[in-house]
Structure 1
């Protein structure tokens, strides 16, 4: 269990801003990939969601993300958890590491599959 002060600090707007500006997308992607490939991907993504960092880590280009995607991060984690449980039930040896990782990502982002945003010219772009 993580300390409450750590949770509050991670959810702070200043921390979110620093993450989005000071840490490269590639670095964040590498760390997320390690979490998804690890032995507790659901717990890792649940922490990110609990700390209100989900949309910072998995940035969307939308101006009004919180209103549009309210609670969607928890739904994404729920889909991830369902797929993780299924993989555990079937047996991890059924999948290669890459197949397992891609299955978890696909499940996690299934709830946002139809999410669109507008680019600078107003053109709708799929997330």
Structure 2
């Protein structure tokens, strides 16, 4: 325990020297440990600390799935950019093209917004160790 007190200071420069004890049933203890694990915390202390500091744990999200989704969004954006380039090329040559540019812009904006939201999720998700 003395070793823990000598670690670098946390949360506003204060040493964590106070111990909090409470009585739980075995079932309650198992539930808290399961929640800590579900939210990707290495130990129960970090999980409980996150609850009291309003740093609410995010729901358990599979990071790998989010990364794959981000890659797929990138492919969709790339395909859309290729379509836009082809349209621009044809327009420059004077070829008449029947399309609504607003739809293309809305789609690009949607892909950009989804990518931004996904990257924000990825920043906040904890890596689960299975």
TM-score, scaled to structure 2: 0.26
Structure with the largest fraction of helix: 1
Q: Which of these two proteins has the greater Rg computed from alpha carbons? A: 2
Structure with the largest fraction of strand: 1
